[in-house]
C-alpha cells in the first residue's frame, strides 16, 4: 500500500570478516574490530575513506590487533585525519595510538558532552563508556564539506545516541555512514542524560529526508533501503511512546514496572539496555506533557496526567 510504514526487521547475518579490509564501495573500505559483544554486535566497523590519501572514521577500541589491521589496510598512504562519529570508547579509544602512528589530526563533533545537565542523584549509565578526555583538533559543523583523497564527504549532525554524534555522507553517491544512529542489527541505545530521545527522533527524520539511500553503520552490515528502514525505526519508537503512556495509565509508576509490562519475555542480560531506553522515552513523554514524572534519590516516579 502506498505510504505504508515498512515493518521493522533486524538483520543479524552480517559477515564481519574481522580484521580484514572489505571494500564497501569505491573509496570506502571497512575493517571490523575484534570487540564483539551485546552492545557492539560483531564489533565496531572502522572505515578508511579515500584513495591516494585517506581518513580513518571511528578507529574503534584500544586493541593492538585492530591497530595493526588498520595500518596494514592504510599501507603507505598519508592519513589526513582521524574522524569520529562520536566519542563512545568503542569508537574512539584507539585514537591516541593511531594518532601516534600516523601524526593525523582528530576531527569530530566536539568533546564528549551530555545532552542535558545531570539531575541531582542521577546516574549516567554510560559515563564509563564515554571518552571524556579526548579533545579534537577540529570541530565539524552540520553540512561541512570535507575532501579526503578524492572522496567528497559532508558532515551531518545526528544527535540522539549522544550529543556530539555525526553521520557522514559520500557526496553525489547513495552512501551515508550512520555511526550508531541507524544500525541494521538492532535499534539504537538512547540513554539519558548522555543521549536524548527527542534529538534521536529528530535526527531520524533528518536522515530520512536526505538523498542518501544506503547506510553502512558502525556495527553490522550495510542497510540497503536506508530511508525505509529509518522510517520503520521511527515508527517503532513512536509505538513505544504509546505503550509507555498506556502502561502508566494502567498503573505503572516505576521503570521496573514498565519493563515488566512492555518487555515481559526479555532475556535478563538485555534488561539494563531496555531500562535505559525506557527512561529516555519517559523523559520525552514528560517533556511533551503526555505523562507526569517526579525525580527523587531512588529514581523517577511516573503518573498519568488528566485529559
User: Looking at the structure, do residues 253 and 157 belong to the same domain, yes or no?
Assistant: no
Q: How many CB atoms lie within 10 A of CB 296?
A: 10
Mean pLDDT of all residues in 129-139:
98
- Residues 263 and 172 both lie in one domain: no
Q: Which pLDDT does position 3 carry in this prediction?
A: 59
Shared domain check, 274 and 250: yes
pLDDT category at 307 given cuts 50, 70, 90 is low
* DSSP one-letter string for 153-208: EEEEE--SSSTT-EEEEETTSSBEE-BTTS-SSSPPP--TTTS-HHHHHHHHHHHH
Locate 25 and state its grid cell. Answer: 564501495
Q: Is residue 10 part of a domain?
A: no
Q: What is the CATH number of the domain that holds 74?
A: 3.60.15.10
End residue of a domain, out of 230, 261, 290:
230
Same domain, 58 and 90: yes
User: In this predicted model, what pLDDT tens digit does every residue of 254-291 receive, in sequence order?
Assistant: 999 999 999 999 999 889 999 999 999 999 999 999 99
pTM, two decimal places:
0.96
**75 and 216 together in one domain:** yes
Which residues, in sequence order, are CB contacts of 249 under 8 Å at separation 6+?
304
Domain assignment present for residue 169? The answer is yes
Count of structural domains within the chain: 2
On whether both 157 and 81 belong to a single domain, the answer is yes
Residues 144 and 249 in one domain: no
203, 241: one domain = no
Q: What is the pLDDT of residues 201-212, one digit of tens each?
A: 999 999 999 999
Domain encompassing residue 294: 237-303
Query: Rg of the chain's alpha carbons, rounded to an integer?
Result: 20
- Sequence-separated (6 or more) residues with CB below 8 Å from residue 25: 170, 173, 175
Among 1-5, 20-24, 52-56, 190-194, the minimum mean pLDDT is found in 1-5
In a shared domain, residues 69 and 198 = yes
- Buried-exposed string 54-82: b where 16+ CB fall within 10 A, e elsewhere: bbbbbbbbbbeebbebbeebbeeeebbbb
211 shares a domain with 136: yes
Last residue of a domain, one of 181, 213, 230: 230
Average pLDDT over residues 284-299: 95
Average pLDDT over residues 115-125: 95
DSSP conformation class of 215: B
Distances (CA, A) of 99 to 106, 134, 287: 8, 12, 41
Last residue of a domain, one of 230, 258, 275: 230
Indicate which CATH number applies to the domain containing 264. 1.10.10.10
Length of the chain counted residue by residue: 307
The answer on 249 and 137 residing in a single domain is: no
pLDDT at 64: 98
Does residue 148 lie within any of the structural domains?
yes
The percentage of the chain sitting over the pLDDT mark of 70, rounded to a whole number, equals 98
Amino acid at each position: 500500500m502506498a505510504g505504508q510504514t515498512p515493518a521493522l526487521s533486524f538483520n543479524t547475518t552480517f559477515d564481519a570478516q574481522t580484521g580484514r579490509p572489505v571494500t564497501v564501495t569505491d573509496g570506502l573500505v571497512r575493517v571490523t574490530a575484534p570487540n564483539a559483544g551485546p552492545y557492539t554486535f560483531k564489533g565496531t566497523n572502522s572505515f578508511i575513506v579515500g584513495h591516494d590519501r585517506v581518513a580513518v572514521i571511528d578507529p574503534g577500541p584500544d586493541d593492538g590487533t585492530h591497530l595493526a589491521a588498520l595500518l596494514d589496510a592504510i599501507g603507505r598512504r598519508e592519513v589526513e585525519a582521524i574522524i569520529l562519529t562520536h566519542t563512545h570508547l568503542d569508537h574512539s579509544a584507539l585514537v591516541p595510538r593511531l594518532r601516534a602512528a600516523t601524526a593525523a589530526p582528530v576531527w569530530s563533533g566536539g568533546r564528549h558532552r551530555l545532552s542535558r545537565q545531570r539531575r541531582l542523584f542521577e546516574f549516567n549509565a554510560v559515563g564509563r563508556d564515554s571518552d571524556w578526555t579526548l579533545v579534537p583538533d577540529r570541530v565539524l559543523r552540520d553540512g561541512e564539506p570535507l575532501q579526503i583523497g578524492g572522496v567528497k564527504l559532508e558532515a551531518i549532525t545526528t544527535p540522539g545516541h549522544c550529543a556530539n554524534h555525526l553521520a557522514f555522507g559520500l557526496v553525489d553517491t547513495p552512501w551515508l555512514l550512520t555511526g550508531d544512529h541507524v544500525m541494521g542489527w538492532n535499534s539504537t541505545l538512547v540513554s539519558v542524560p548522555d543521549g536524548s530521545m527527542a534529538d534521536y527522533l529528530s535526527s531520524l527524520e533528518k536522515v530520512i529526508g536526505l538523498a542518501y539511500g544506503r547506510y553502512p553503520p558502525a556495527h553490522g552490515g550495510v542497510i540497503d533501503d536506508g530511508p525505509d528502514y529509518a522510517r520503520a525505526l521511527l515508527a517503532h519508537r513512536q509505538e513505544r511512546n504509546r505503550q509507555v503512556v498506556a502502561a502508566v495509565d494502567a498503573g505503572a509508576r516505576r521503570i521496573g514496572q514498565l519493563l515488566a509490562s512492555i518487555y515481559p519475555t526479555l532475556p535478563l542480560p538485555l534488561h539494563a539496555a531496555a531500562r535505559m531506553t525506557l527512561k529516555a522515552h519517559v523523559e520525552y513523554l514528560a517533556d511533551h506533557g503526555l505523562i507526569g514524572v517526579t525525580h527523587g534519590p531512588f529514581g523517577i516516579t511516573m503518573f498519568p496526567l488528566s485529559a
